[in-house]
């Protein structure tokens, strides 16, 4: 690599120069010479502080939130109180911006009555509509029926708030 395109610490292009001269410039500034684009012709290098560069990259990684999928298992004969408890748990997960996967397991001869499973999952969708949106609608997978709910995005929340404000204003004018 006899010649490289050099970019300074503040982002200005210093031009194409021999590698030894680029190393000398970096050394004079007390910084490192890092190859940014090795496949370019000529290769592109940047003069910067390697430690600070790595620190900034790690800081950006910590700001990213990984979305987890939390699982909730149900049976077709779940009681009303048990269902309410499961929905509160799902609401807690959605509040933390995690997705919720509902897994409805059919036992024994229950598999014949898939319509009861669909009814139950639709009831869950209806009750969770203010907290979640359906990401994956109910679908059968062997003896299970699976559905995934995701938290409502901020944009949709603000759109819903606008609609309710408009409805309130319309009701107030009618009164």
Q: Among residues 95, 156, 144, which one has the least CA distance to residue 136?
A: 144
Between CA 45 and CA 18 the distance in angstroms is 11
pLDDT tens by residue, 15-73: 999 999 999 988 988 889 888 888 988 899 999 988 888 888 888 777 777 778 999 99
Domains of the chain, residue spans: 3-55, 69-152
From the candidate CATH numbers 3.40.50.2300, 3.40.50.300, 3.10.20.80, 3.40.50.150, the one assigned to the domain spanning 3-55: 3.10.20.80
H/E stretch holding 52: helix 50-63
pLDDT tens by residue, 69-107: 999 999 999 999 999 999 999 999 999 889 999 999 999
Tokens of 66: 């990984």
What is the Cα 162 distance to its own chain's centre?
25
Q: What is the pTM of this model?
A: 0.56
Between CA 101 and CA 45 the distance in angstroms is 47
CB 151 within 8 A of CB 100: no
């Amino acid at each position: 690599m006899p010649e490289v395109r050099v970019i300074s610490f503040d982002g200005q292009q210093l031009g194409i120069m021999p590698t030894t001269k680029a190393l000398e410039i970096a050394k004079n500034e007390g910084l490192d010479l890092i190859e940014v684009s090795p496949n370019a012709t000529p290769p592109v290098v940047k003069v910067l502080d390697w430690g600070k560069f790595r620190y900034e990259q790690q800081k950006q990684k910590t700001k990213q939130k990984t979305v987890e999928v939390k699982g909730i298992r149900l049976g077709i004969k779940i009681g009303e109180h048990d269902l309410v408890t499961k929905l509160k748990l799902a609401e807690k997960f959605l509040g933390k911006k995690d997705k919720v996967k509902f897994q409805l397991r059919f036992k024994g001869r229950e598999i014949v009555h898939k319509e009861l499973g669909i009814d139950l999952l639709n009831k869950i969708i209806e009750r969770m509509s203010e907290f979640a949106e359906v990401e994956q609608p109910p679908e059968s997978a062997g003896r299970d029926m699976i559905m995934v709910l995701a938290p409502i995005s901020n944009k949709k929340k603000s759109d819903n708030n606008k609609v309710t404000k408009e409805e309130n204003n319309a009701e107030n004018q009618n009164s």
